Amino acid sequence: MNLSDEMRQKLVEIARQVRRWAYAPYSNYPVGAALLTASGKIYDGVNVESAAYPTTICAERVAIFKAVSEGEREFAAIAVVTHNGGVPCGACRQVMAEFGLDTLVMVADKDGQITTEMTVAELLPGAFRPEHLVRE
Alpha helices in 19-115 (DSSP H): 59-69, 90-98
Residue 60 annotated to the active site: yes
Which residue of the set 49, 60, 72, 98 is catalytic?
A: 60
Q: Side chain identity at 42, as an amino acid letter?
A: I
Q: Check: CB of residue 26 under 8 Å from CB of residue 53.
A: yes
Q: Which residues are catalytic?
A: 60
